[in-house]
Chain A
Amino acid sequence: MRERLSFHIKRDSALHRLNPLTKLLLVLALILSAFLTPFYWTPHILAILVIPILSVIGRVGREYLSTAFRLILPAATFLFLMQAFFHPIGKEIIFAFYFLDMTLESLMFAFGNAMRIVVMVSAFTIFLLTTHPSELMSDLSRRGLPGQFAYVIISTLQILPQVQAKAQTIISAQRSRGLETEGGFFKRAGALIPLIGPLVFGSLVEVEERAIAIEARGFTSKHVKTSLHEIPDTPTDIFLRWFLTTLIAASIGLKLWLS
């Protein structure tokens, strides 16, 4: 049975102690500066320097690295290759492979984009690793975000591991009926059908029952909600939020001004 159903890792670090909204702004600032910057090297510096430093500050360096190698790098590499070969810019071919051509321009373009994706996914990963989702939810609804909205965000954070666990059970049930899930591509693709039906149907029932269950526990109550955990919100947070908001505004402003 799985004990861990979210990314969050309970530790004490400067990042863990920040208010969830501050961290959310940090993520936004990182992403926007990576995507809107007029300087080619910004995403690279963020990905190679800033993100790793943040993961160390948050004492989740090892977990971040493992996610990066298993998930983020392969995805970014795929994107890089696709764009490097297929993005039709530049003339001077520097590398050819059968009918595939790569130009210096397409290489640069693809590399920059891949790095942007690395920054975006990494920033979220570190956010999830250091933020307790129920704290995020409580904090956002305390700030006036409608409860339903906050809940959707939070339960989405938990949904992947749940769907994964459920899919595992369904696969087990089908393999027990002689379904071969190992082997070639077609065999495995064929094995998907008996998986999807129960997964979709199960999710429909689940959504309805869960809605009833949380409603029965006062979810849409008009009372002002309280929170089991004390949510940190220090002067440092307030200062950081001002700083990050300025940074975000600056990236947007710069982009608009230059375009």
Chain B
Amino acid sequence: MKISINDLRFTYPAGVEALRGISLEINPGEQVAIVGQNGAGKTTLVRHFNGLLRPSSGSVWVGDWDTSKYSVAKLASRVGYVFQNPDEQLFSRDVLTEVAFGPKNLGYKKNKVDELVGCALALTELNDKTETNPYDLSPTWRKMVALASIIAMDTPIVIFDEPTTGQDAVNIARIANVIAEIKKEGKTVITITHDIDFCAENFERVIALSNGEVLLDGEAHDVLGREEILAKTYVDPPQLTRLGKALGLKETVINQEEFLNALK
């Protein structure tokens, strides 16, 4: 399902203009990372995709729906949104109920709900924790429950807000795996992240925002090599990209495979 954003502007009630004319298209099945400094407007932008925020002017379309005409609960059938802090999301007495909450809200039949929940739990490696109260889990696993509870909604578009913040290497690998798997199902994945190496390794397209405008948008390769422009929004290129530059490699490399190939 396609997302079309046309000259989107948004001003907070306090008067801060957070988005200043953004036009973008995100195609079905794309893997998009949104990067940029604190306060660049990343969260403000993606909150328009599921209707949590309404444009001050311009429009956002998800498929054939104009988001300003649909409730958040309706849009939830098309756009899943994993919040940064799982503690703002989890409330059920056990993991199973928690993960089933979203699909039930969307009105799926019982056996469909069971199936979706089962897949989501397997994908997030929570199979052995279904009876546990989410609050008895470590923050790392709570994050996985939050992921599962959105993935189980089986939406064509999934948004992750800072999925790797405060996570250790093992869990970051788990999250990368989840993203790769839902990509295989043909879903659109949109992720806000400060972790630029994670971005380079898992996303095809990168959008860099700065002061509420699109600074760069394109294939990860093209965007992540533009050191000077990225610096304007407080982002460094990935480690291996910088190394490639330091070694004077002709092409921009963004991950280990490309780097090693370029060396040969």
Contacting residues, chain A, for B135 (C-beta < 8 A): 201
Q: Which A residues are in CB contact (< 8 Å) with B77?
A: 178
Instruction: Check A169 for interface membership: any CB of B closer than 8 A.
Output: yes
State whether B76 touches A173 (Cβ < 8 A).
no
Distance between Cα atoms of A194 and B91 in the complex (Å)? 6
Give 1 or 0 for each of B100-117: 1 = CB within 8 Å of chain A CB: 011001100000000000
Say if the beta carbon of A181 comes within 8 Å of chain B. yes
Say whether B14 contacts A3, CB under 8 Å.
yes
**Contact across chains for A198 and B71 when beta carbons are under 8 A apart:** no
Q: How many Å lie between the Cα of A174 and that of B105 in the bound state?
A: 10
* A interface list, Cβ under 8 A from B: 1-4, 166, 169-170, 172-182, 193-198, 201-202, 205
Q: Are A176 and B90 in contact (CB under 8 A)?
A: no
Distance, CA A2 to CA B16, complexed state (A) = 10
Residue of B nearest to A166 (CB): B88
Nearest chain B CB to A46's CB is how many angstroms away? 34
**In the complex, are the beta carbons of A175 and B73 less than 8 A apart?**
yes
Q: With A1-B12, A198-B87, A198-B88 given, is the CB distance from A176 to B101 under 8 Å?
A: no
CA gap between A170 and B150 in the complex, in Å: 15
Number of B residues with CB within 8 Å of any CB on chain A: 29
A198 CA / B77 CA spacing, docked (Å): 23
Q: In the docked arrangement, what's the CA distance between A176 and B82, Å? A: 8
CB distance from A199 to the nearest CB of B (A): 9
Q: Which secondary structure dominates chain B's binding surface?
A: loop
Given A1-B12, A1-B14, A175-B52: A180 in contact with B105 (beta carbons within 8 A): yes
B141 CB-CB contact with A under 8 Å: no
A2 contact set on B, CB distance < 8 A: 14
Give bound CA distance, A170 to B84, whole Å. Answer: 11
Residues of chain A lying within 8 A (CB to CB) of residue B87: 198, 201-202, 205
Shortest distance between the CB of B158 and any CB in chain A (Å): 11
Query: CB-CB < 8 A to B81: which residues of A?
Result: 173, 176
List chain B residues, Cβ under 8 A from A193.
Answer: 91
* A178–B88 touching, CB < 8 Å: no
The residue in chain A whose Cβ has the minimal distance to the Cβ of B159 is A176
B88 near A175 with CB under 8 A, answer no
A176 partner, pick from B16, B83, B91, B92, beta carbons under 8 A: B83
- The answer to whether A173 and B105 have CB atoms under 8 Å apart is no
Contact B101 A194 (CB under 8 A): yes
Give B68 Cβ to nearest chain A Cβ, in Å.
Answer: 15
Q: A169-B88, A170-B88 are in contact. Are A177 and B14 (CB under 8 A)?
A: no
Alpha-carbon gap, A175 to B71, bound state (A): 9
Those 5 A-B pairs whose CB atoms lie nearest each other, nearest first: A197-B91, A178-B105, A178-B76, A175-B72, A177-B102
Chain B residues in 8 Å Cβ range of A181: 73
Docked CA distance A196–B93 (Å) = 13
Residue in A closest to B18 when the chains form the complex, CB atoms: A1
Tell me the complex Cα distance, A26–B92, Å.
47
Cβ contact of A196, chosen from B71, B91, B101, cutoff 8 A: B91
Asked whether any CB of chain A lies closer than 8 Å to the CB of B233, the reply is: no
Which listed residue (A1, A173, A180, A196) contacts B89, Cβ 8 A? A173
| Residues of chain B contacted by A175 (CB below 8 angstroms) | 52, 71-73, 76
What's the nearest-Cβ distance from chain A to residue B48, in Å?
12
Contacts of B90 in A (CB 8 A): 197-198
- B14: chain A residues within 8 A (beta carbon): 1-4
Chain B residues with CB under 8 Å of A177's CB are 76, 80, 89, 101-102, 105, 149-150, 153
Within 8 Å of chain A (Cβ to Cβ): is B50? yes
**B73 & A179 in contact (Cβ 8 Å cutoff):** yes
- Enumerate chain A residues within 8 angstroms of B47, measured Cβ to Cβ: 172
- B89–A174 contact, CB under 8 A? yes
Query: Are A202 and B105 closer than 8 Å at their CB atoms?
Result: no
Interface centre among B72, B102, B105 (most CB of A within 10 A): B72
Most chain B beta carbons < 10 A, residue from A174, A181, A201? A174
Contacts of A201 in B (CB 8 A): 87, 135
A194 to B12, CA, bound (A): 26
Q: In the bound complex, how far is the Cα of B50 from the Cα of A174, in angstroms? A: 12
Residues of B close to A196: CB separation below 8 A: 91
Known: A3-B14, A175-B73, A198-B88. 20 other contacts (CB 8 A): A1-B12, A1-B16, A2-B14, A166-B88, A172-B72, A172-B83, A173-B83, A173-B88, A175-B71, A176-B81, A176-B83, A177-B89, A177-B149, A178-B105, A178-B153, A179-B105, A180-B71, A197-B92, A198-B87, A202-B87
